[in-house]
Structure 1
């Protein structure tokens, strides 16, 4: 999988104004006290506050390193008065954070799996990978793998999230199917992948097994195509 650069919190770690709060359950009351037995770490994304139990936050390699660092951490960091701030430069949205927090709250309870769209799963995966939440990341990957089944969307999500192992099997499906590729599908694939699929569709007129196409596809070309 490709590495993604971890966006750092803003240097000041200061909240500009109180903003909205989105703690799920529970929320901060008007006095600023969060009704939790264990300490809560507070994040600010755009103008929204999010809270997560410290025990969950410390499962993140990224935040554990930050909060335990003698240079970065202090006793007030992650409080309502001094939340950990991610600004617009990071590209993180409140919707991304909501998706991740839902996963952290319910993972392990399969009957409560959220009915996410693939886009929401992808948002949650991006943050879990970025912040080294290993178990939520693996949980999300499993559900993404189930929910994205069509070959072209699988290739697009593979490029977005670094799932290179999805690409060749998805291209092999396109080689094997009976319907011709459309112009719109070709545009979504990009010229390199479109040409590779067309070449092997012509080669395998007998509609070979997808595993045969996987052997023929030039992996050195298609795995580096990011058009």
Structure 2
């Protein structure tokens, strides 16, 4: 064998083989994409999109594409057999696709450059993200709505919207707002919220108005309905309203407390003086309106 032939042989043996058995290859799961295009039917319109994004972001779609096809073969491969998304509106699905294909939206502040399809309250991005379990995208939609829509809504509308789309963070502030409002629920508002919620709001309002901080403030203002005055917000009254709402709507089942409006140093003093549990110390301080002496006396009786 000549030196040239030997060199060629050595060179070829050092090159990557294109015929190695596939069993020797491994898939890098992070970057081995299933990037097939699939066809969806939404209302009377067809969409042909990459399924990778849907599988990655949603357990619902991940499960959908994990199911074995029926005897007729997989759906979504042809326009004759699209995957039908019932009860989904075109504006919703386009809002979802905007997030995937308009890459800048995730990096922008919630108020900057948002597509108009994000902001409708009942048929935009939040609706479709909540329905199909796109948790990260749902958070994005929630932030957008908090900036552009929620600030313009009354507390009853906020509660209904929070229920519809399962956004629990919107509930407590809305309950507190109703608790501090001078006017009670109207018949129409009570009907929209339902009898149970209306009754709980009435209980929270009564608890708030029975608090020492509320009565002291009302007395100092000569029985003027101060909730409707142009006063600056009173942190003590805000604290009492939050406590009332928590007690009525979110009662602790394990005897613990989230210690709203209670000074940590006061808690420690009560524990040292009465040798009670932390939960009992917090409760006594809340019930005494933050009065350290009265809390200690109450626990010592």
Normalising by structure 2, report the TM-score: 0.50
Corresponding residue for residue 33 of structure 1: none
The 3-state SS of whatever aligns with 2:47 is strand
TM-score (norm 1): 0.64
Q: Could you tell me which runs of 5 or more consecutive residues in structure 1 were left unpaired when the two chains were aligned.
A: 1-37, 221-227
CA distance in 1, matches of 2:36, 2:130: 24
Output the CA distance in 2 between the equivalents of 1:191 and 1:76: 45
Structure 2 residue aligned with 1:117: 120
* Mapped partners of 1:76, 1:180: distance in 2: 54
Q: Does residue 175 of structure 1 match 2:179? A: yes
Give the paired residue count: 178
CA separation of 1:213 and 1:197: change in aligned 2, threshold 3 A: same
Q: Does residue 140 in structure 1 map to residue 147 in structure 2?
A: no
Give the gaps of 5 or more residues in structure 2: 1-34, 215-226, 228-236, 252-301
SS at match of 1:135: helix
- Offset, 1:192: 1.8
| Counterparts of 2:185 and 2:179, CA distance in 1 | 9
1:12 aligned residue:
none
Instruction: Please identify, of 68-77 and 134-143, the stretch whose mean Cα deviation from structure 2 is larger.
Output: 68-77
- The Cα offsets for residues 26-63 of structure 1, whole Å up to 9 and x where unpaired, read as xxxxxxxxxxxx75322002311123233323323333
**1 CA distance for matches of 2:64 and 2:175?**
41
Query: Which runs of structure 1 show a deviation greater than 6 angstroms over 4 or more consecutive aligned residues?
Result: none
More helix by share: 2
1:55 aligns with 2:58: no
Q: Distance in 2 between matches of 1:164 and 1:213?
A: 18
Q: Tell whether the 8 Å contact from 1:169 to 1:214 is kept in structure 2 after alignment.
A: no
The 3 A distance-change label for structure 1 pair 105 and 184 is farther
1:16-165 pair list within 5 angstroms: 39-59=36-56, 60-71=58-69, 77-86=76-85, 90-106=86-102, 107-110=105-108, 111-115=112-116, 116-121=119-124, 124-146=125-147, 147-149=149-151, 150-165=154-169
Aligned-pair CA distance for 1:176: 0.8
User: 2-side partners of 1:187 and 1:75: how far apart?
Assistant: 47
CA distance in 1, matches of 2:38, 2:166: 29
- Verify the 8 A CA contact 1:45 1:85 in the aligned structure 2: yes
Larger radius of gyration: 2
